[in-house]
Amino acid sequence: MKIQKQIPVTAYKASGFIGKYQQLVRETVIPYQHSVLWDKAPDTEKSHVAANFINAGKALRGEDTADGFYGMVFQDSDAAKWLEAAAYSLAVHPDENLEKQADELIELIAAAQDKDGYLNTYFTVKDTEKRWTNLLEGHELYCSGHMIEAACAYYEATGKKTLLDVASRNAECIYNRFVVQDIKGWPGHPEIELALLKLYRLTGNEHFLILSKKFIDERGTDPTFYAHEAEKRDWTVWGCDPWDNDYRQSGKPVREQSEATGHAVRAVYLYTGMADLASETDDKELLEACRRLWNNIVQKKMYITGGIGSTVIGEAFTVDYDLPPDTAYSETCAAIGLLFFGGRMLENEINGEYGDVMELAFYNTVLAGMQLDGKRFFYVNPLEIDMGISGTACTHRHDLPVRPKWYACACCPPNVARLIGSIGAYAYGESADTSYCHLFAAGSVRFSNGMALECTTDYPYDMTVKYKVSGNGKLAVRIPAWSRSFAISVNGADFSQAPENGYVYIEVNGNADIKFVFDGTPSFVRASCKVPRLAGMTALTRGPLVYCFEGTDNGRVSELRIDRSSAPEVGEYDPNLLGGTVKLTAKAERITDCGGLYTSEPEQCTPCEAVAVPYYTWGNRGENEMRVWMNIC
Amino acid sequence: MKIQKQIPVTAYKASGFIGKYQQLVRETVIPYQHSVLWDKAPDTEKSHVAANFINAGKALRGEDTADGFYGMVFQDSDAAKWLEAAAYSLAVHPDENLEKQADELIELIAAAQDKDGYLNTYFTVKDTEKRWTNLLEGHELYCSGHMIEAACAYYEATGKKTLLDVASRNAECIYNRFVVQDIKGWPGHPEIELALLKLYRLTGNEHFLILSKKFIDERGTDPTFYAHEAEKRDWTVWGCDPWDNDYRQSGKPVREQSEATGHAVRAVYLYTGMADLASETDDKELLEACRRLWNNIVQKKMYITGGIGSTVIGEAFTVDYDLPPDTAYSETCAAIGLLFFGGRMLENEINGEYGDVMELAFYNTVLAGMQLDGKRFFYVNPLEIDMGISGTACTHRHDLPVRPKWYACACCPPNVARLIGSIGAYAYGESADTSYCHLFAAGSVRFSNGMALECTTDYPYDMTVKYKVSGNGKLAVRIPAWSRSFAISVNGADFSQAPENGYVYIEVNGNADIKFVFDGTPSFVRASCKVPRLAGMTALTRGPLVYCFEGTDNGRVSELRIDRSSAPEVGEYDPNLLGGTVKLTAKAERITDCGGLYTSEPEQCTPCEAVAVPYYTWGNRGENEMRVWMNIC
C-alpha cells in the first residue's frame, strides 16, 4: 500500500520559479517541439515523427508508404513525450490550439494501430514480420510505455479517451502475448513497467498490473534469453551484445540486484517501476532491492549535481566512485529518471533523502539540460569544460561547451518538458490525513484529502517558504539536509519539532499560516577520498543549487584555487542575470605564472575573487570554461 | 650533414645501471622472447611467429602450409625486433647458442622471401594477390622496416650477411615498385623510412636513400590516396577509416605539418625518419618541420614521464594539454619512438633539451614498461592507478595495475629489449673532433675519432659522473636541465664553463679525468594551468627520475596532500628494494574522515609522511594504488 501518493498533475498550479519554467515550456518548448515532430522547425534535423505515424497508417491500409520510416527505432516515443508534455500543460492551462494539435496527432496514432492493438511505426512501416523478434534492441515495449504515459496524462488533462483506448488496446495486445500466451521476455529498455502501473490505476484493469509485474519478476531470470533471441534472427539495430546483461539490468532477477549497472536511463526507469510495484503490491523484498539500488547510486555513483551514468560508453554507470567531472555523461534523462525513482520511493516510505536527491537532480542536472530560453538542450551534463579539450578531444567529444539545438536522438528535450509540466506530482503528495511537501514549489495545491495550500516562496534563491493551508489534517514538510538549521512558525508563533526521517509534521485544523526559514548560507562541499578524481577539491553550493565557475566571470578557471577558510559572499538577486539569479563570490588565489608544460619553479599567486553562478545556468553566455570542482588553497 | 652521429652499438660496453639492464635483457628477456616466437613459452598466448615463416617458405615452394598464418598482420615484426635485440646483445656479449638461434630464424626468413625480394608471411601464406593492395593497414612496409633494422644490427654485430642480403633484396623489391615503377604510396605505419637510411649508410646503396626520401616527400600529398586505395579492394584488416589522414600523419605533406597527430608510435617513427633524412641530406625545411613537431610534443603533449599518446582510442595523441593521468595510454613503444626522434634531432643540432627528453622517456616510461624481473610488460603506462577503477571501469580497462605477461600484439616487449641493447648509440655520439655524452651511461666507449672513455657512475641514483678520457679532441657533455647547479673538475681542478645549448665542451689532449657533480636535490614539479587535469597538483622528481606514491607504502594515496614547503628527505640507496633504489619521503597530511560521497563538514587532517619510489619501479609489489600527480596542502 502506498503510504502516500503523488498528487495528480491537475491538482497543482505553479507560480514563482516553477511557474516561470512551466510558462517557458508552454510558450517555447512545446510549440518548438511540435514543429520538430512535423519537420517544420527551421535549421533542425529531420524528425519525421508525424510522417512515420502517417506512413504506418498507410501501411496498415495497404497504401503506398511514400517516404517510409525515418529515424531511430524509438522515434515514436518523441510523439508520446510531446503529447505527455502537452497534456500536463493543458491540465493547468487550457489552450484550444494546442489541444487541436494534440488531437490531430492522436488521430494519426490511432490510425497507425494494427487490428490486434500492436502499435509501433518502425515495425509497421518497415517489416511487420520482425515484430517482437528483438526485445534486446527493438524498443517496442519502450515506445508503448511512453504512449501509455501520454494517454494517461492526456485523459487526466482533457477527459478525452481516444488515446487512452489506443494505449489500453496496445497494452492488452502485449498482455495477450506475454501473459496469456506466456511468452518469455522483458524489455531491453525498461519504461513500460512504470507506465502500465499508471494505466492500471487509471483504468482499474488488473491485466496491466499483472503484465507490469510479469516483466519485473521475469527480468534477469535467464541470462541466455537475449542471446537465444539473437540466434533466431538475422538482423540487428545496433549490433548490441546480447550477453551483456548487466547493461540492461538483467544479469540476475531484480530482487537479487544490489548494484546499479549499465545504461543509466534504463536502470532508473526500471527501478521506478520496481518501486511503484513494491508500494502497489506491498512487496517488501522488492522494496529492499530498490533501497539497495538507490543507496548504491546516491552513495557511490551520483554526481554532486544529481547526475548519474558517468561514461559516454553506452551512456552508462561504470564502477563505484568513478565520477570524472570533465568526461561526465550525466544524461539529462537519467537525472529525470532518478527523480522518478525518488518519487516512487517516497510512496513506500517517508525519508528526506529522497527529496534531497530529487531536488538536486531537478535544480541542477535537469534544468541545466535546457538553455534558459528553452531553445537548446544538453543531453550530456559535464561538470567541467576545458577549452580546446571539451567537445574536441576524442575522449571529450560528447562534453559540449554549448547546448546544441535538436538531436537525431531527441529523448532529452521532450523529457525535460514533461517533467517540468508534472513536477507538482513530485513536489506534493497526499494520504488520507496528511499532505506532503517533498519539494518547495510555489503555487496552489488541492489535495484529495480535502486540504489545500498556497505556497509562496522565491526558492531556490530565497530560503523562506510560506504555506497558507486550509482543511483538517497534517502538513508534512521535508527539512532539506543541506539546511544546517531552520525555523518554523505557525500562525506567527514559533514552532519547534525535531524532524522525523527528514520531515516535520504540523497539525492543521481549519486554516494556518506556516512559515519555514531554511539556512541559505553557502557551503563548501568536498567529495569522499574514495572518489579519486575529486579528492582534494571543493564545490560550492547554496540551498539545493550547486554552483560553478565560468570563464566569462573568472578568466582561466584552472588557474584559480579557492580559499575555503572564508565565507563566500552571497550576491543580491539579479533579475537580469541569467534569467534571474544570485552570484556567489569566494576568496581565491590565482596562479599568475602559468608557464611551460612542467616546471619546478615555485608558483606565483595573487589573491583574487572567484565568482560562481548556479550550475543550471552555465553555458548560456557562449563558449567558455566551466568548473564545478575547484582546486583549493 | 650530421653535425655528429650516433656511435655504433658495438662501440659501447655497459656497466652500472645500464649494464644491469642489458644483463637482464640478455639473460631473461631475449631467451623468453625466443621461446615465445617458437610457441614454447608456458602459459603464454600463441605467437606462431617462427611457424609463419616456415609456412611462408612452404607456400613459396608450393608445399602444404599446414596451420597457415596466425597472428596480427604485423606478426613478422616480432621476429625482426627479437633479432635486432639479439644482435645488440651479441655485439657486446658473444653467445654461441644465441647466435645459433638467430641464424636458425634467419634461415627461415630467407626461405620465406619470394623470388622478387618480397618478404611478408601474412600475404605470402594467406593470399599473394593481396600484396601491396592495402598500404593503409597491411603493414608490409612496416614489417620490412623492422627486418631491415634487424639485418643492419645483425651484420654489425656478427659480420654475417645472410639477413642483410635478404633485407637489401626486399628493399630493392620495394624500390622497384615505388621508385622505378613510380607507383604512388606511403606506409600506413611509418618505420621503413628510418630503416632504409640505416641500410643506405651500411651498404652505400643510394636506392635506399632515394626510396626513404620518396616515402617521406610523397606522404600526405594526396588526401584521397588511402580512400582510392580502399575503393579498389574488397577486404580490410581492421576496417580503418581511409579518410582519417591525421591518424597516420598524412593530412598534408610532412614539411607543412606542425601538430603531432594520430597514432603516437607512427608519429614518432615518422619524425625519426624525417630527422634522420634532414641531417643526411641537409634539408633545412624538413628540419624545421621536425622542430615544430618536436616542440608540439614536448611543450604540449608529453607526460612528465616522457610518455606520449594520451588516449587509448587509437593509441593516439589527442589535443594540446590533454594529459589525463588515470586514463593515460602512454604506450611504451611511443616513448621509445620519442627517444629515437630525440637521438636523430641531435644529429641535426646540439641542444640539451633532446637529451633531457630522451632520458625522461628512458628512465621513466620505457623502463616502467618492463617488470623488474624482465618477465612481464606494460604497453600502457598510466600515471595513476585507482583501485576498483583502473583496469575495471570501461573507460580505464587499458590501465592495468600490474604488468601482464605477453600480448597477442607483442610490439612493446621486444622494443624495450632492442632499445636497452642499443641505448649506447643514444647515449654517445661523435664527430671528427668531438665526442658527445648525451646521456649518462656507465661503461666504456671507443669513438671512431680516436678518443675513448670510461664512464663511472651510479646514475640515476648518484649524480656524480666520472669520465676517464683518452685521445685528442673535445668531450661534450650535456648538462641536464633538472640540475639547478653543477660542478666540473678536470684532473682534479675546478673547471668552469657556461653551457652552450645545454652542453659543456672540454678539450682533451692525451688523458683526462673529468668529473661532473649534478644536483640531486628532489624537486616538486607542477604542470601548466593549461593542463586542466594537473592544475593545482604536484609531482616529485629527482634527477631524471619521476617518483610516484604507491598504496603499498602509503595506504590510500588519494587521502594524501603533499606539503611542498619542506624539502623531501632522500633515503639511502637500498640494494634490496625494488631492484635497488632510493626512496623519497615528503611531508604530507592525510584526510582522516573520508566520509560519505559528499559532505560540507570540514575535513579532519593529520600530518604524516608520504613515501615515493621511482615511477619505473611501480607495480612490482602487487596490485595497489599509485599516483604521480598528488594533491597539495
Q: Kindly provide the b/e burial profile for residues A262-301, where b requires at least 16 CB atoms within 10 angstroms of the residue's own CB.
A: bbbbbbbbbbbbbbbbbbbbebeebbebbbbbbebbbebb
Q: What is the DSSP letter of A400?
A: -
Q: How many helical (H) and strand (E) elements, i.e. helices and strands, does chain B have?
A: 18, 21
Per-residue pLDDT tens over the stretch A139-149 = 999 999 999 99
Residue A540 to residue A482: CA distance in whole angstroms: 12
Q: Which residues of A touch B320 (CB under 8 A)?
A: 388
Distance from CA of B475 to the nearest CA of A (A): 29
Q: Are residues A534 and A510 in the same domain?
A: no
Beta-carbon contacts of A11 under 8 Å, excluding residues fewer than 6 positions away, are: A424, A428, A445, A446, A447, A448
Q: What is the CATH number of the domain that holds A498?
A: 2.60.40.1180
Is B605 touching A (CB cutoff 8 A)? Answer: no
Average pLDDT, chain B: 96
pLDDT of res. A407 = 63
- Grid cell in block for residue B137: 593497414
Nearest to B600 among A302, A319, A525 (CB): A525
With cut-offs at 50, 70 and 90, classify the pLDDT of residue A409. low
- Domain containing residue B589: 524-631
Residue A96 annotated in active site: no
A598 in contact with chain B, both atoms CB, cutoff 8 A: yes
Q: How far apart are CA A34 and CA B432, in angstroms?
A: 80
- In whole angstroms, how far apart are CA B604 and each of A629, B559, B562, B601? 20, 11, 15, 9
Q: Which residues from chain B sit within 8 angstroms of residue A594, using beta carbons?
A: 528-530
Chain A residue closest in CA terms to B633: A633
CA B364, distance to chain mean position in Å, is: 11
**Secondary structure of B557-606 as H, E, C letters:** HHHEEECCCCCCEEEEEECCCCCCEEEEEEEEEEECCCCCCEECCCCCEE
User: Is residue A207 in some structural domain?
Assistant: no
Contact yes or no for B535 and A559 at CB 8 A: yes
Which among B242, B237, B234 has a CA at the least distance from the CA of B69?
A: B237
**Predicted local confidence at residue A412, as pLDDT:** 84
Q: Chain B 537-566, CB below 8 Å of chain A: which residues?
A: 539, 541, 556, 558-559, 561
B437 assigned to some structural domain: yes
Residue A555 covered by a domain: yes
Contact A478, A355 (CB under 8 A): yes
Q: Looking at the structure, do residues A485 and A534 belong to the same domain, yes or no?
A: no
What DSSP string runs through A6-60?
EPPGGGEEE-HHHHHHHHHIIIIIHHHHHHHHTT-STT-----HHHHHHHHHHHH
Is some CB atom of chain B closer than 8 A to the CB atom of A531?
Answer: yes
Q: What is the DSSP string of B459-471?
A: TTTS-EEEEEEEE
Choose the closest CB to B631 out of A298, A531, A535.
A535
Q: How far is CA B335 from CA A196, B591, B619, in A?
A: 58, 35, 19
CA-nearest residue to A483 within chain B is B600
Q: Which residues of A touch B558 (CB under 8 A)?
A: 529-532, 535-536
Angle between helical axes of A162-175 and A140-158 (0-180°, round to 10)? 150
Query: Does A203 reside within a domain?
Result: no
Distance from CA of B418 to the nearest CA of A (A): 30
Identify the pLDDT of residue B45: 81
Cell of A164: 487512452
Chain B residues with CB under 8 Å of A326 CB are: 532-533
User: Which candidate in B521, B562, B598, B608 is best for mutational testing of the A interface (most A CBs within 10 A)?
Assistant: B598
Q: Which amino acid is at A291?
A: R
Residues B510, B572 within the same domain = no
Is residue B246 less than 8 Å (CB to CB) from chain A? no
Q: Are residue A486 and residue A571 in the same domain, yes or no?
A: no
Q: Residue B533: inside a domain, yes or no?
A: yes
Terminal Cα distance for chain A, rounded: 52
Burial B540-575 (b: 16+ CB within 10 A, else e): bbbbbbbbbbbbbbbebbbbbbbbbeeebeeeeeee
Q: In b/e form, how buried is each residue of B252-284, taking b as 16+ CB within 10 angstroms?
A: eebbebebbbbbbbbbbbbbbbbbbbbbbeebe
Examine the domain organization and report whether A446 and A511 are in the same domain: yes
**Does a structural domain hold residue A501?**
yes
Which residues in chain A have their CB less than 8 angstroms from residue B526's CB? Answer: 598-600, 603
At A86, the amino acid letter reads A
Dihedral class, residue A612 (left if φ above 0, else alpha if ψ from -120 to 50, else beta): beta
pLDDT value at residue B406: 65
Q: Which residues pair with B283 in a beta bridge?
A: none
Distance between A85 CA and the closest CA of chain B, angstroms: 34
Q: Are residues A508 and A541 in the same domain?
A: no
Task: Kindly state whether residues A512 and A533 are assigned to the same domain.
Answer: no
**Which region, left, alpha or beta, applies to residue A444 given φ > 0 means left and ψ of -120 to 50 means alpha?**
beta
Question: Is B603 a domain residue?
Answer: yes
Are residues A469 and A549 both part of a single domain? no
At residue A408, does pLDDT exceed 60? Answer: no
Residue B407: per-residue pLDDT: 63
Q: Residues 40-99, chain A: which have Cβ within 8 Å of B?
A: none
Of A529, A597, A632, the CB nearest to B527: A597
Mean pLDDT of A448-477: 98
Judged by a CB distance cut-off of 8 A, whether residue A250 touches chain B is no
Is the CB of B598 inside 8 Å of chain A's CB atoms?
Answer: yes
Measured between CB atoms, which of A392, A395, A526 is closest to B311? A395
In B254-405, the DSSP E strands lie at 384-385
| B364-418 per-position pLDDT tens digit | 999 999 999 999 999 999 999 999 999 999 999 999 999 987 665 577 888 999 9
Can you read off the three cell numbers belonging to residue A54?
A: 502517417
Of A480, A502, A518, the position where a domain reaches its end is: A518
Residue B288 CB partners (closer than 8 Å, separation 6+): B255
Rounded distance between C-alpha atoms, residue A63 and residue A271, angstroms: 42
Catalytic pick from A143, A173, A333, A411? A411
The minimum CA-CA distance between A149 and chain B, rounded to whole Å, is 34
Does residue B529 sit at the A interface (CB-CB below 8 Å)?
Answer: yes
The count of structural domains within chain B is 2
What pLDDT does B409 receive?
Answer: 58
Neighbours of A432 (CB within 10 A): 9
Q: Kindly state whether residues B443 and B498 are assigned to the same domain.
A: yes
Comparing A104-113, A518-527, B407-416, B472-481, which segment has the lowest mean pLDDT?
Answer: B407-416
End residue of a domain, out of B486, B501, B518: B518
Q: Out of A304, A482, A599, name the one closest to residue B526 (CB).
A: A599
Catalytic residue of the set B172, B229, B259, B315: B315
Peptide bond into A223 cis (omega under 30): no
Choose, from A156, A172, A315, A384, the residue flagged as catalytic.
A315
Task: With cut-offs at 50, 70 and 90, classify the pLDDT of residue A411.
Answer: confident
Are B560 and B606 in contact by the 8 Å Cβ rule? The answer is no
> Nearest CA of chain A to the CA of B500: how many Å?
21
d(CA B166, CA B169): 5
State whether residue A475 is helix, strand or coil.
strand
What is the tens place of the pLDDT at every residue in A155-180?
A: 999 999 999 999 999 999 999 999 99
Active site (annotated) includes residue B96: no
Among B491, B518, B545, the domain-final residue is B518
Q: What is the crossing angle of helices A206-218 and A264-281, to 10°?
A: 130
Predicted local distance difference test score (pLDDT) of residue A565: 93
What span, in angstroms and rounded, lies between the C-alpha atoms of A546 and B528? 27
Q: Write the pLDDT tens digit of every residue in A292-321.
A: 999 999 999 999 999 999 999 999 999 999
CA distance B518 to chain A (A): 16
Grid coordinates in use for B83? Answer: 633479432
Compute the distance between CA of residue A362 and CA of residue A247 in angstroms, rounded to an integer: 25
Q: Which of A387, A533, A600 to mutate to test the interface with B (most CBs of B within 10 A)?
A: A600
Reported as half-sphere exposure (CB side, CA atoms, 13 A), residue A408 has a value of 4
User: Does residue B569 belong to any structural domain of this protein?
Assistant: yes
Number of Cβ pairs closer than 8 Å across A and B? 153
Give bridge partners of residue B488 from the DSSP assignment: B495, B516
Among B residues 367-386, those touching chain A with beta carbons less than 8 Å apart? 384, 386
Whether A406 shows a pLDDT value over 70: the answer reads no
User: Does B33 lie at the interface with A, CB-CB under 8 angstroms?
Assistant: no
Decide: A141 and A198 in contact? Cβ < 8 Å.
Answer: no
More confident residue, B96 or A412: B96
CB B85 within 8 A of CB B33: yes
* Interval A206-244: pLDDT, tens: 999 999 999 999 999 999 999 999 999 999 999 999 999
Q: A533 and A465: one domain? A: no
Determine, for residues A597 and B298 on separate chains, whether the beta-carbon distance falls below 8 Å: yes
Do A514 and A528 belong together in one domain? no
Task: Please name which of B350, B341, B212, B336 lies closest in space to residue B275, comparing C-alpha atoms.
Answer: B341
Q: Give, for A588, the enclosing helix (H) or strand (E).
A: strand A581-591
Among chain B residues, CA nearest to A295: B597
Residue from the list A389, A524, A632 with its beta carbon closest to the beta carbon of B319: A389
Q: Inform me whether the C-beta atom of residue A483 falls under 8 Å from chain B C-beta atoms.
A: no
Please check whether residues A624 and A531 belong to one and the same domain: yes
Q: Which chain B residues are closer than 8 Å to A558 by Cβ?
A: 529-532, 535-536
Give the closest of B389, B392, B525 to A598, CB-based.
B525
Contacts of B302 in chain A (CB under 8 A): 597
Regions of chain B where pLDDT drops below 50: none
Choice among B143, B411, B548, B608 that is catalytic: B411
Q: Is A322 on the interface with B (CB under 8 A)?
A: yes
Nearest CB partner across the interface for B299, out of A313, A528, A596: A596
